[in-house]
Amino acid sequence: MATTTATITINSADLTGDSLALSQTATLTTAGFLTGLTQTTGVGRKTTSSTSANTLFASANYTADAANKIYIKNTSSSATEYITLTVGTQDVGRLYAGDWAFLPWDASADFKYTPSVPTSLTVEYMLIFE
């Protein structure tokens, strides 16, 4: 059984009135079981040069209603460049330069991203799935 853990730590001395220190760890398991997720796309990079939507993961290639996890990062260093994340037709949010996300994906609709600029923009990504 594969064992994969994900940890996020958020620290700030001045975000709230008090200092903030959050840390959470989760073991990634299949839907409804304690069996570890066993497959991954590996870490990849994709560079685009248009503002068209790009399908990163097609739902037809994965099990729907599964406990899939996506990591995605906007590697740009320009503060004005962002990517918009979309699942099906629903915008999920934006990742600005250097931002990243780790989110669940049930594979019921395609996972896409759309760059804000028509110049070269690279995203780093990985899918851990059942």
Q: Tell me whether residue 22 is in a domain.
A: no
Give the CATH number of the domain where residue 82 resides.
2.60.120.10
In a domain? residue 47: yes
Q: Is residue 55 part of a domain?
A: yes
> Is-contact 81 96, C-beta < 8 A?
yes
Q: For the full predicted model, state whether its pTM sits above 0.75.
A: yes
Task: Identify whether 37 is part of a domain.
Answer: yes
Structural domain including 38 reads 28-129
Name the burial class of residue 76, with classes exposed (0-12), middle (13-18) and buried (19+) by CB atoms within 10 angstroms of its CB. Answer: buried
Q: Which residues contact 16 (CB under 8 A, 6 or more apart)?
A: none
Task: Return d(Cα 51, Cα 13) in angstroms, integer.
Answer: 37
> Sign (positive/negative) of CA torsion 75, 76, 77, 80?
negative
User: 2 in a domain, yes or no?
Assistant: no
Q: What is the arithmetic mean of pLDDT over 95-108?
A: 96
Q: What is the pLDDT of residues 8-52, one digit of tens each?
A: 999 999 888 888 999 999 999 999 888 898 899 999 999 999 999
Looking at residue 2, what is its pLDDT? 81
| Contact criterion met (CB below 8 Å) for 58 and 112 | no
Residue 4 resides in a domain: no
Residue 84 has pLDDT above 80, yes or no: yes
Residue 7 falls inside a structural domain:
no
